[in-house]
Amino acid sequence: MTFAEVIEVVGKVVDAAGVAAIVVGALYATFLSATRRHEGNVYRLFRRRLGRSILLGLELLVAADIIRTVAITPTLESVGVLAAIVLIRTFLSFSLELEITGRWPWQQVPAGEEPGAQEGPAAS
């Protein structure tokens, strides 16, 4: 097996892990929401759990794109496409983080407050 083939397989495995993280996270959030309907605001908790699984999946998908682009085809065009993909996914990640926690990723959590405890602006 050549280096390019190994990197392609690694990229596909990381891609699959990203998709699996989203799917398993969505199923887990759905299951918990269905079984814990009596615990407060189920919709808010479902959105938080689903958002976290999407964030994890996006991070893995970006990693897979970086692995394949840098290791296999480091042309100017492929790096440009990678940059566009990373920008779009980074914007999505920041937007999801704001929705989940109510603050930007670079903002500190106040002392004594659990990360993710604050609800986002659209969570109400």
18 exposure class (CB count in 10 Å sphere: 0-12, 13-18, 19+): buried
The reported pTM is 0.74
CA-CA distance, 121 to 68, in Å (whole number)?
Answer: 36
Q: What is the SS3 assignment for 53?
A: helix
Tell me the pLDDT tens digit for each residue of 16-34: 999 999 999 999 999 998 8
Tell me the pLDDT tens digit for each residue of 64-121: 988 888 887 778 888 888 889 888 988 888 888 888 888 777 777 766 665 554 444 4
